[in-house]
Amino acid sequence: MSPRTAVELAAAVRSGSVRAGDVVEEYLARIDAREGDVHAFNLVTADAARERAASIDRRVASGDDPGPLAGVVVALKDNLCTRGIPTTCSSRILEGWRPPYDATVVERLAAAGAVVLGKTNLDEFAMGSSTENSAFGPTRNPHDLSRVPGGSSGGSAAAVAADFATVSLGSDTGGSIRQPAALCGVVGVKPTYGAVSRYGLVAFASSLDQIGPFTHTVEDSALLLEVIGGHDERDSTSIPKPALSLRSELGRGVEGLRIGRIADLPAGADPDVLARLDAAFDALAARGATIVDVTVPAFTYGLTAYYLVAPAEASSNLARYDGVRFGLRVDAADTNSMYSATRAAGFGDEVKRRIMIGTYALSAGYYDAYYGKALKIRRLIANDFESAYRDADVLLTPASPTVAFPFGAKGDNPLAMYLCDIYTIPTNLVGHPAMSVPFGTGEHGLPVGVQVLAPTLGEPVMFRVAAALEAAQRESQARSGGAA
């Protein structure tokens, strides 16, 4: 069997001890065996992956180095543009659309030697926390097929958790990488806004969206960010700096670091999740970190601000899907009727709900009362985080308030579903980095993720803390004979 981590696999392929073609066949065999149960993918590009692997093996045989991700099998969330390959956002309205270009992150993966194996399922247009909103059916959690994998990047999280891909990419607008990472027991990272190019990411909320990795290990996430990060002139919000150096930080430990415990963190997390968070604080303290109490008073308003800002931006971004330039078109007697018929048939209920909320919030007479106030709250949250980071180097919170929940448990109550992102949304509003690290199990033996938050471009220290948590968890598992 090929190495499971991207770092090990790339080293083996680059040395010639493992063939990329054999690796691809291993992953395709796993997909054939379990994909019918999990449904992580909207599309598996098996033939293209085989051709790509063969080209990598030829380069290795000729003495070339394919790159730091040589032969690493990657799954892409189906809202990342791939030239000539369907990109659906798990929506009927993009039926048949094949982008004429690759997203920047897709280009950078290719340049690093990665092999793309397919496009993963998601909540339609990345709007959801369970991957139940896909037009193509739900993705199931590999740990328990009766439960959700989280969302909106549930397919990408499940693909890694099920070993259908070495790593994957998702997008995070309000927690859509970190929450499914927690529920599926993998590492998930939302970088600093602007640290990874959004060019070629189909927009949901442009001031919030960010692309990041799902991996089995913290080191693999660091490697992925080093590959896909850095300035891109095609993205006007891209930070004009090279990608951060992260792998070199992983072994530095946490001695002397200040780990912030948010004293006024909003209630709502289950006891089993809070117990794992407490254990994470204890583990870091045992490694020499100092635990400090901080306050972020406006944290509790993040959810309400987000559900005005994000739908408002979605209302604007999704206006382009009108039956003229993209995908689905439902013919009607006149142009306005065609617009209405196309959108009614093409968008699902959750997308329609958010478009209507956003359009209402931006309408004359309501802009100042709703959207304007949400922007002010966004500023207050940023100010409160800035104050907290004067006293702490990073903060810890739950990544998700619960472990993976059963299908249908929250679908009839949108607010209950929205509360799944209560701990992840504030960092999107302020553009800071954050990541979920698997840290044991909770109720029903299901994974729990601890979220590490850091200030803008604070990824190096964030990864130091994440690596320490990962090491602590491995030591705990070794002492207990493999149990979490």
pLDDT per residue as tens digits for the range 357-370: 999 999 988 999 99
Which helix (H) or strand (E) segment holds residue 74: the answer is strand 73-77
CA distance from start to end of the chain? 24
Average pLDDT over residues 7-28: 98
Instruction: Note the pLDDT tens digit of each residue in 303-318.
Output: 999 999 999 999 999 9
Determine the pLDDT at residue 306. Answer: 97
Determine the pLDDT at residue 376. Answer: 97
Residue 207 CB contacts under 8 Å (≥ 6 apart), including other chains? 193, 309, 313
Q: Do residues 468 and 255 make contact, with C-beta atoms less than 8 angstroms apart?
A: no
Instruction: Note the pLDDT tens digit of each residue in 405-438.
Output: 999 999 788 889 999 999 999 999 999 999 999 9
User: Which of these is catalytic: 91, 130, 176, 197?
Assistant: 176
- C-alpha span between 137 and 357 (Å, rounded): 25
Determine the pLDDT at residue 400. Answer: 98
Q: Where in the chain are the domains?
A: 6-304+371-479
Is the pLDDT assigned to residue 291 strictly greater than 90?
yes
Average pLDDT over residues 382-399: 98
Q: Do residues 39 and 138 make contact, with C-beta atoms less than 8 angstroms apart?
A: yes
Residues 355, 383, 274, 391, Cα dihedral to 10°: 160
In the structure encoding, which two tokens stand for residue 399, read together? 């990544």
Residue 184 CB contacts under 8 Å (≥ 6 apart), including other chains? 141, 142, 143, 149, 150, 154, 157, 158, 160, 161, 404, 447
Whole-number average pLDDT of the chain:
96
Instruction: Note the pLDDT tens digit of each residue in 218-274.
Output: 999 999 999 999 999 999 999 999 999 999 999 999 999 999 999 999 999 999 999
Average pLDDT over residues 333-353: 95
> What DSSP letter does each residue of 408-440 carry, written as one string?
TSSTT-HHHHHGGGTTTHHHHHHT--EEEEEEE
- Residue 152 appears among annotated catalytic residues: yes
Is the pLDDT assigned to residue 3 strictly greater than 80?
no
- Residue 400 appears among annotated catalytic residues: no
User: Which of these is catalytic: 90, 129, 152, 436?
Assistant: 152
Q: From the centroid of its chain, how far is CA 80?
A: 12
The rounded percent of the chain whose pLDDT value lies above 90 is: 95
- Residue 176 appears among annotated catalytic residues: yes
Most confident of 138-152, 320-334, 364-378: 138-152
* SS3 state of residue 205: coil
In the structure encoding, which two tokens stand for residue 9, read together? 């696999």
Instruction: Note the pLDDT tens digit of each residue in 115-140.
Output: 999 999 999 999 999 999 999 999 99
Instruction: Note the pLDDT tens digit of each residue in 427-475.
Output: 999 999 999 999 999 999 999 999 999 999 999 999 999 999 999 999 9
Q: Do residues 444 and 403 make contact, with C-beta atoms less than 8 angstroms apart?
A: yes
Is the pLDDT assigned to residue 12 strictly greater than 70?
yes
Angle between helices 349-362 and 302-317 (to 10 degrees): 100
Instruction: Note the pLDDT tens digit of each residue in 70-97.
Output: 999 999 999 999 999 999 999 999 999 9
Distances from the Cα of 124 to the Cα of 87, 154, 201, 359, 437, angstroms: 12, 11, 14, 18, 26
Instruction: Note the pLDDT tens digit of each residue in 46-71.
Output: 999 999 999 999 999 999 999 999 99
Distances from the Cα of 302 to the Cα of 28, 98, 369, angstroms: 41, 36, 17
Determine the pLDDT at residue 414. Answer: 86
What band does 144 get if pLDDT is binned at 50, 70 and 90? very high
Determine the pLDDT at residue 347. Answer: 96
The rounded percent of the chain whose pLDDT value lies above 70 is: 99
Determine the pLDDT at residue 4. Answer: 82
User: Which of these is catalytic: 77, 119, 190, 410?
Assistant: 77
What band does 482 get if pLDDT is binned at 50, 70 and 90? low
What band does 1 get if pLDDT is binned at 50, 70 and 90? low
Which helix (H) or strand (E) segment holds residue 41: the answer is strand 41-44
Is the pLDDT assigned to residue 2 strictly greater than 70?
no
CATH code 3.90.1300.10 for 6-304+371-479: yes
Instruction: Note the pLDDT tens digit of each residue in 166-208.
Output: 999 999 999 999 999 999 999 999 999 999 999 999 999 999 9
